[in-house]
Structure 1
Amino acid sequence: MRLLFAIFLLALLLPLSGGQQPPMVRLWQSEDGLPGNVVRSMVQSSDGYLWLATAEGITRFDGLEFDAIEPDGELRRLRFAFWRLFAPEDGSVWVSTFQGGLFQIRDGRLVRILGEEERPRPPRINQLILDGHGVIHFKRGGEIWRAGSDGPALVAEPTEDLIARFARDHEMQSAGGRVVDPDDTTTGAQLRTRDGRLWAADITGRLVIDGELPVDLPGVASPYVFNELLEDREGNVWVATPLSGLARVRRSRVEPLSTTQGPEPAAYAVMQGRGGDWWIANRKGGIARWSEGSTEHLQLVPAGYQRPVSTMFEDAKGQLWVAARGGSVFLKKDDGTFVPQFSKSQIPSKVRTIQQDDAGVIWFGGTQGLASYDGTTVREYGEKDGIPKREITVLVRDGRRMLAGTDDGQVFAGDSSGFKLLGNLDPLKHWWVSDLLAVSENELWATTLGGGLFLWNGKTWQQFDDSDGMPDLRLTCILDDGRGHFWFGSLGGILCASRQEFLDRARKPENQIHWLRLDRSDGLPTRECIGGYHPAGWRGNDGHLWFPTGSGIVRVRPDLVEVNQVPPPVYLSSTRVNGSQQDEREGRVEAGPGRSRIEFRFVGLGYSAPEKVTYRARLEGLNDTWRDLGNQRVAAYEAVPPGRYTFEVLAVNGDGVWSRNPASVNVFIRPHFWESAWFILTVGALALAGTAAVGWYIARRRMKRRIQTLKIRNARENERTRIARDLHDDLGASLTEISILSALAAEGGEESTLRPTLDQLSHKAKAVVGTLDEIVWAVNPREDTLRSLVDYLAAFAREFLDTAGIPLRTDIPRHIPETPLDATARHGVFLAAREALNNLVKHSKATQARLAVYLDDSKLEIRIEDNGRGFSQEWEAKGYGVANLRERMRAAGGDCSISSVAGEGVTVTLTLPLLADPSSQI
């Protein structure tokens, strides 16, 4: 956008009579976004927006951008001649046409309320007000109409109160810069602003202030005409012109001074002498002496190359000391010539700063360090004096001591007896110290080029930077205006803040500092104040503040700098989710599902310096910390997860005044179904249940393994016990008997007596072999099968009954499977079967026996039958081995049943369940 300034400087830019600052004009035309240069009417609505009626349509202006307002629906294809805008207290905006029509602006659209008349010169709507009940009434020619919810209607008999309201509005519009009666051509628009100044056209038609100060539009020939004048809430005056666009007129808060001659306006240093003249070091070399109405340029050397001046100083005798940049030190004589000093010594030279102490000693600081001159002798200071060989950038007298700042962030205090470092090197962080201001021994202020402002409180340094709201950290100087405020030259404009607010924030970090920044929008010809030279700023005898810039010297009158105290209202313009604009419903925007990119656009209204309005925003729920956005009017957040958030934004104008309330909108990002709470809870519950099940399963398996291990250990112990018992009871007794029989046989005797003994010995030996064979079979793991049990049992029964002389008939299946069988179960079944065969031989007196084996998928059944005498009361009382058989089978995991009929034999049935997992039979 094109920026034009018209600075009217009278009498070589001296202050205006009455203490007024010169006005400053900025002009907007079609190339700046204005719909057309013919501006007919303008109003400021209650929300703070500026509305303009041009020949090309209606537009809303926020200080930076124009937003065109289009007619609603089918009206877009029509062209209307808009005439006048109205903004009543209810916040609505209305516009009338030359043909007597009326429109209302609703949701960014023009809605027709009253149609135009076709006749020539129809009556126009020149007033629109609210009555006491909040109903819109407007005046069309001499008629009063009512704009109700049911449409416009003519008010035949207006009340006295309504007529009085129209009369008061007529007076207010006249004072507000409008020509209310279109038939009155004798009186142009005039405006009485809040500060009492009268803005009106002079006899030539040109706009003037209080009848004497002209307001010329940049690039527009005078005289010119204007349609309306408007004072906004910040005190700016707006001019609607019929040909030249829209102009804003405001007081300049900075006064540029023409103090140099030629094409080199840049000034490096400025100082006021005791006589009131100003000494100005400029870029082209030498110095200029400036007084009211005249400028005199003085050269350091009579002829040849003129080095720019790096520093100037007037001593107690009124003598002017001047140092050329990178060169010698000169002393001004009464005749206006400059004489080089220290011609026989290279020290001091390349001086940047000069100062004098109470004893009259002149001090020099520069590239070669620190030196002093008492009128006869030059003394250098170094490590032995407590100050290292550093480039001295600034010297300031503080009572009896001298303060010296360096190019690497050190500040020393002392006198001819020596210096000491204030604090340590960490706080100033090696920044170039550009200026020092000593308020007291325990209050020293230091400005730096890049590090902001530092305060020495007698013990430590405290920094003030962008975290404290400082607009620019590249400070060139610090001045005390004597009114409780510090003024700073910087590369980003002239800054101002309250000294007390600095001290308060130093004590309590939650306290705020309100900053004022002056730049091109306030009349500065350039933002950059020159730094690195001394003095880089000066407070004059009259309290005015002078700053050297790249475009010359500027002057600020602190007493006339008015702070814009109007809080800038801030509004949300739009919300975009993943690039698509979202409609706000009841202060809420919905998006998703899933992570989304959210972009918020907003605007803060500040018409004095809209380009200096800055913003601070946060997305509460994502990050509650406020984020500084500068003057960026967009805040974007990437990949925001599903959830509920509140976006808030605040605006601050160029004078440090914040919005009263933030603009906010609630945002709800819908989750994917797998991101929803119920899904997460369900999955979490299932995961917990699954984890619990797995844990239970693992614990159960561990328990089963432990039980299995214990069973195996127990089985082994039982088996070892059984083997020991069998070996002791069977083999031990049999071997003992064999030993006795062998002894008897060894004693000799008759053959008739020896034969029975040898027969018994043979029988016992066979029994021992059988018993040992049975033990080996029982403990051999290769025999742990169903087939081995059946085969071994059949062989044993056949041999055992054959010895007893009882015929045996077997009924055994041909194919017995190799089903695994636990050793304990296998041996227990065999022992039970053997017990049954033993009972058969001993008690049944049978002549025939039968062994039958039945097998299916779930059990093994063994039947031992005989044709003996069966049970009788006598044998049943003796037990017949029934209890012993059942005990053995239960120990093996099976069961035993015995059935008998007296005189018909006995049937013993042994059953053993067969399971797939052999370990389950333990």
Structure 2
Amino acid sequence: MRNTFLMWFVFEIVFCKSLLYSQEYLLRFKNLNHKNGLSDFRITDVLQDSNGIIWLGNKITVDRYDGERTISYVLGTNNIINQLIEDQDHNIWAATSKGLFLFNKNENVFEQFENDVLKNQNITSIMQCDDKWLYLSTQNGLLVKIYHNDSEPLKNKFQIIEPSQKIAGFIKKISKGHNNTCWLGCSNGFVYKLKNDSISSIPFNKKNSNTASINDLCEDDSNNLWVATNGNGLYKINLENNTIKHFNRDVNNNKTINNDIVLSLLPIKSDLWIGTDGGGLNLYRSDSESFSYFIQKPSTNSISDNSILSIKQGLNKNIFLGTVHGGVSIFKNKFSIQNIPPKILGFNHIDQQGSIILEDRKGNLWISAGRDGLIKYSPKTKTSKHYVDDPNNKEDLNGSIILSLYEDKSNRLWIGTFRGGLNILDLKSDKFISNYNKKLNSVFSICEDVIGNIWVAQRLGVTIYDPNINVIKELHPVSDSLLLSNGTNSIFRDINGDMWVGTINGLYRYERTKNTLKKHKYLHKDNDSLSLTNNHILSISQTKDLSILVGTYGGGLLKYNRSTDNFSRLNQLGNKGNITNGILTDNNDNIWLSTNSGLVKIDTLGNIYNFDENDGVFPFTGGAAYLDRSGKIIMAGNYGLSYFKTETLSPPEVNFKINFTSASLINKNSKNELLYTDLSEFQNNSNSWLTINNDNILFTIKYACSDPILNEEINYAYKISGLNNIWHEIGPQKSIFFSNLKPGKYTLTLKASDKNGKWSPHTTFIKIKVLPTVWESIWFKMTLLGLITLLVVIIYRWRISKIKTQKEKLKQLLDQRAKEVKNQQSKIAENKIKILEIEKKNQVLKQKKLKDELTFKTKELTNNTLRSVHKNDLLNDIKDNLKKEIRQKTISKDNLKKIISNIDDSFMLDKEWNHFYELFNQIHPSFIANLKVSCPNLNERDVKLCALILMGFTTQNMATLFGISLNSVKVARYRLRRKLNLQESESTVDFLKNLKT
């Protein structure tokens, strides 16, 4: 037992390694070319922006592809687009052979970036760092960086980076590294490191004699720097220990690149996608340190060209390839399904019919080859043997179209064919057994029962053989007549030993009771939802809970419940994928269906996932998938043999975006008008309205998915606020029609789901405004309101006039009786007037008294001020006398006494300033307080100056009062105006008068 286990363990290791050795990854490419409106087949660079729009650079234009149509932008004549990037503010930049261009979203045009240094320069590369600086290199050797600010253009910055050491040649490529580092690849084959605007050389330049120009370079997640050269292959530089590994073309080594001209690189984690010039797309897998190659083939799913100028990562795990002659190729970055090409298997004939697969006890794979017989493939030796029907050899395979395979306990391979009946191959001797009756009609299925008999399902029923290949019984499930064609398609043995037989006319179960078979019949009933949905049975299998699974032709998958003896529908696939050719249950109890659309996975929770050609799974046209001993699912056909581990094949991430693309209108004059060919300015913009007229009959708006690969299998739903605000699912329809939209404002919101019904988290909306009719317009409503208002005014005035007439009549009646009252009132009024006249005289007297007091205080204030002037005159006299006394040889006591007398007079005059303030505050009580609040920065001298200006003193008086010159007074007044913050047109006196109140 131990030896047997060890043998199988070694077999599994050898089997897996041998498959991996010759494998290819099965990728499906979607190609964009002139059929999609591209201006040129040569794509110099490709970019998918954050909204999913695809931008394509070539030698003529920049093309913008939104999933529905292409818009081309001309950036001047003979201007080659070298590189396209989207910055952190979602601006699109184009580095060209004639300068730098920026896309203006509002004007829908590319505009040249205004800079004298960069104008008409050949911008070889452009890249943005985390700090939002854009780094650019030019063919004339410049390395510059710019800082662009949309909202504040005046803050844009420009700086030339001067290298500390001379760089031979020019920088062809700038690549962003880790830790805010940039890598510079030069035309002379050297590589430099740029950090903090400092350029330094790396050991690669000294350790290698590479002189080939650097086309591209990148840093992966494993701290490796990859360098692509123009003729010297590919270099991998380990940045930790500076070791270098060189990959160049070697036809005898599959662990290197297949072309020495490497044009483009794209690292994803530790793996590397490599674009070559003529060698197609190369993939380096770090886990196996091996290369895979994807070369152009006649298939429509192949890469479009073998020369790849650009590789870019897009949304939703898409990778975009810009090619020299084939436009753009797009594929999903998924490696779940591996493939052995048909040539390695020995397929000589291309046929759309799917393959039947069987793994024998030795690990050999038996694969039907369409209309070309049977293939035996040995994963150990990677060799194959072809079994064909030679009309001149009666000892070989009889029949070229293989329908079924089965290995019995005696190490014999039972082979069912379409026209050649039953064949039996002795696997020990590798010879066909001929001493049995093999003239059967179309052998669709073969199975062994619990006692070792072989059940063979053929067109006319079931033929049962014993272990010695003797026919022991003929079963005709539908009829006992041998003349009636039953079309028996499948046979299955369940856990109880019952044999299930599927035919084109129903399902049958044969229960073994002692030595007899009891037949149970299951048919479709029109009014019974628990019966078969379809009588045409293709496949039968069993679940972990021992329930029977039944695959039908057009009726989907059914589950037979033993306890209730009825059927339930498992998968709801609509009209797609309802032809179930095979049923598998993997080691994790997931159910896998081989259908006409690909593989369908039903997990243990009942979730349904579809895998089709976009996932590397082709439709099963006659064949079915096979589950091998190691738990891998194997599929085969004209594409070769594909296999995958069940846990690795998962549905694609639902993260695609959708965009509104165009809008059109049919009005009441039956005029079909294309309103907008680009809706990007309206999309997801709350401030922009798509405006249409009120005479619309049919308004159409189109949209598309941003994922070109999934675009054809996306289902959409929309809701429009202003109508019903309810989600409407519309399937794969790529346009929405609205008829006779009423005037108003609407918001159309769109979402999309993948083929598995899973909705993308991204939604998009657009605001629509339908203009009102004339009678619904605001001007019409205002005019109508004005007319109604005028009518109301006329009626109102008429009513007022009538009331006035009535009042006049009433007044005449009351006038006579009111005269007496008026006489009495007049007398009272005369008395009141007399009293008011007396009060008026008193007020006049009070005002005169106040005016006299004000005049007195004003005169007193003036006198006080004049005394201050006099004081300053005294001080000047003191000053003059002191100067004279100094000049005298002897001091005159009389003069000193005179000076002392003048000083005493000056002290007396100092007190006059305090008296001046008291009088000034009585006349202008709030002026000084208001002045200090309004201008707190004024000193005491400034306050005095303001008071004198308000009092109307002349400049001469002020000069005398302050003891300064006339010019000093003018300077003081000028400085005062600046402290008061007065404009040239404002008057100082007017400003001070306003502070009095």
**TM-score, normalized by length of structure 2?**
0.54
Q: Deviations over 1:586-642 (max 9, x none)?
A: 465454646732322111122555444443446674694633433x42233556677
Aligned residue in 1 for 2:519: 419
1:352 aligns with 2:444: yes
- Give the 5 Å matches for 1:569-584: 569-578=657-666, 579-582=672-675, 584=682
Q: Name 1:820's counterpart in structure 2.
A: none
Residue 541 of structure 2 corresponds to 437
1:198 equivalent in alignment to 2:286: no
Q: What is the distance in 2 between the residues matched to 1:37 and 1:178?
A: 31
In structure 2, how many angstroms separate the alpha carbons of the residues matched to 1:530 and 1:37? 35
Relative to structure 1, is the Cα distance of residues 373 and 666 closer, same or farther in structure 2, using a 3 angstrom cutoff?
same
Cα deviation digits, residues 219-250 of structure 1 (max 9, x gap): 79999765443223444443445566434465
Deviation at 1:16, TM superposition (A): 4.0
Distance 2:273 2:551 in 1: 43
2:658/2:705 contact within 8 Å kept: yes
Matches within 5 A, 1:36-75: 36-62=40-66, 67-70=70-73
Amino acid at match of 2:453: V
1:518/1:453 CA distance change after superposition, 3 Å: same
2 CA distance for matches of 1:289 and 1:672? 77
Task: Confirm or deny: 8 A CA contact 1:267 1:280 kept in the other structure.
Answer: no
* Match of residue 398 from structure 1: 494
Q: Which digits, 9 at most, give the CA deviation of each residue in 1:792-851, with x for residues without a partner?
A: xxxxxxxxxxxxxxxxxxxxxxxxxxxxxxxxxxxxxxxxxxxxxxxxxxxxxxxxxxxx
Counterpart in 1 of 2:114? 115
Aligned counterpart in structure 2 of residue 462 of structure 1, from 536, 546, 568: 568
Matched, 1:316 2:403: no
| Shift, 1:660, TM fit | 0.5
Equivalent residue, structure 2, for 1:147: 148
Q: Deviations over 1:870-913 (max 9, x none)?
A: xxxxxxxxxxxxxxxxxxxxxxxxxxxxxxxxxxxxxxxxxxxx
Matches within 5 A, 1:540-551: 540-549=628-637
Separation in 1 of the partners of 2:38 and 2:560?
52
Which residue type is aligned with residue 378 of structure 1?
Answer: I
**What RMSD, in angstroms, separates the aligned Cα atoms of the two structures?**
4.9
Deviation of 1:659 after TM superposition, in Å, equals 1.3
Shift of 1:349: 5.0
Q: Does the 8 A contact of 1:517 with 1:655 survive in 2? A: no
Task: Report 1:501-520 matches (<5 A).
Answer: 501-502=605-606, 513-519=607-613
Residue number in structure 2 paired with 1:747: none
Quote the offset at 1:442 in angstroms: 5.1
Deviations 1:144-169 (A, max 9, x none): 4343445466647899xxxxxxxxx9
Distance 2:127 2:118 in 1: 23
Deviation at 1:433, TM superposition (A): 1.5
Cα distance in 1, alignment partners of residues 402 and 739 from structure 2: 53
2:590 is the counterpart of 1:480: no
Pairwise CA distance, 1:438: 0.4
Shift of 1:653: 4.1
The structural deviation recorded for 1:87 is 0.8
Say if 2:360 is the partner of 1:273: yes
Q: How does 1:410-809 map to 2 (within 5 A)?
A: 410-412=507-509, 414-415=511-512, 416-421=516-521, 425=525, 426=528, 427-440=531-544, 443-458=547-562, 459=564, 460-464=566-570, 467-468=572-573, 471-492=576-597, 494-502=598-606, 513-519=607-613, 521-523=614-616, 527-531=618-622, 536-549=624-637, 553-561=641-649, 563-578=651-666, 579-582=672-675, 584=682, 586=687, 588-589=689-690, 591=692, 593=694, 596-617=697-718, 621=723, 624=726, 626-630=728-732, 632-637=733-738, 647-653=748-754, 657-667=758-768
1:551-574: CA deviation from partner (whole Å, max 9, x where unpaired): 665444445545431511112112
Given that residues 34 and 41 in structure 2 are in contact (C-alpha distance below 8 angstroms), is that contact kept between their aligned partners in structure 1? yes
Alignment partners' CA distance in 2, 1:602 and 1:222? 26
How many angstroms apart in 2 are the aligned matches of 1:154 and 1:597? 47
- What amino acid is the match of 1:95? A
For structure 2, list consecutive stretches of 5 or more residues without a partner in the other structure.
Answer: 1-14, 162-172, 190-212, 221-266, 667-671, 677-681, 781-997
Aligned AA (2:626): W
**Bigger shift: residues 255-264 or 582-591:** 582-591
> Could you tell me which amino acid in structure 2 is paired with residue 490 of structure 1?
T
Provide the residue aligned with 2:384 in structure 1. 294
User: In the alignment, which residue of structure 2 is the partner of 1:325?
Assistant: 418
Aligned-pair CA distance for 1:398: 0.8
Cα shift at 1:106: 0.9
Contact 1:390/1:407, CA 8 A, preserved across alignment: yes
Match of 2:98 in 1: 99
The alignment status of 1:229 with 2:311, answered yes or no, reads yes
One-letter identity of the residue aligned with 2:673: S
Using the size of structure 1 for normalisation, the TM-score is 0.58
> Which residue identity does 2:356 align to in structure 1?
A
- Mapped to 2, the partners of 1:51 and 1:96 lie a distance apart of 13
Distance 1:171 1:304, change over 3 A: closer
SS in structure 2 opposite 1:145? Answer: strand
| Residues 645 and 200 (structure 1), Cα distance of their counterparts in 2 relative to 1, 3 Å cut | closer
Aligned length: 632
Distance 1:440 1:101, change over 3 A: closer
Q: Contact conserved, 1:202 with 1:208, CA < 8 A, in 2?
A: yes
Letter in 2 for 1:338: F
- Looking at structure 2, the residues matched to 89 and 218 of structure 1 have their Cα atoms a distance apart, in angstroms, of 35
Write the letter of the residue equivalent to 1:577.
L
Q: Distance in 2 between matches of 1:491 and 1:106?
A: 45
CA distance in 2, matches of 1:390, 1:89: 68
CA contact (8 A) 1:49 1:61 kept: yes
- Aligned equivalents of 2:293 and 2:417: distance in 1? 43
How much does 1:448 deviate?
Answer: 1.7
Deviation at 1:323, TM superposition (A): 2.9
Q: Which residue of 1 aligns with 2:296?
A: 218
SS of 1:515's partner is strand
SS of equivalent residue, structure 1 residue 101 = strand
SS of structure 1 residue aligned to 2:176: helix
Change (3 A) 1:262 1:499: same
Please give the per-residue CA displacement for 1:473-506, whole angstroms capped at 9, x wherever unaligned: 22221223324433322222x223232242xxxx
Q: Secondary structure at the match of 1:417?
A: strand
Counterpart position of 1:238: 320
Structure 2 letter corresponding to 1:195: K
Q: Which amino acid aligns with 1:546?
A: I
Q: Deviations over 1:362-401 (max 9, x none)?
A: 2233332344334556224467999999432211111122
Residues 327-371 of structure 1: per-residue CA shift (max 9 Å, x gap): 54333345444346763x98x754322211212122233332344
> What secondary structure sits across from 1:306 in the alignment?
coil
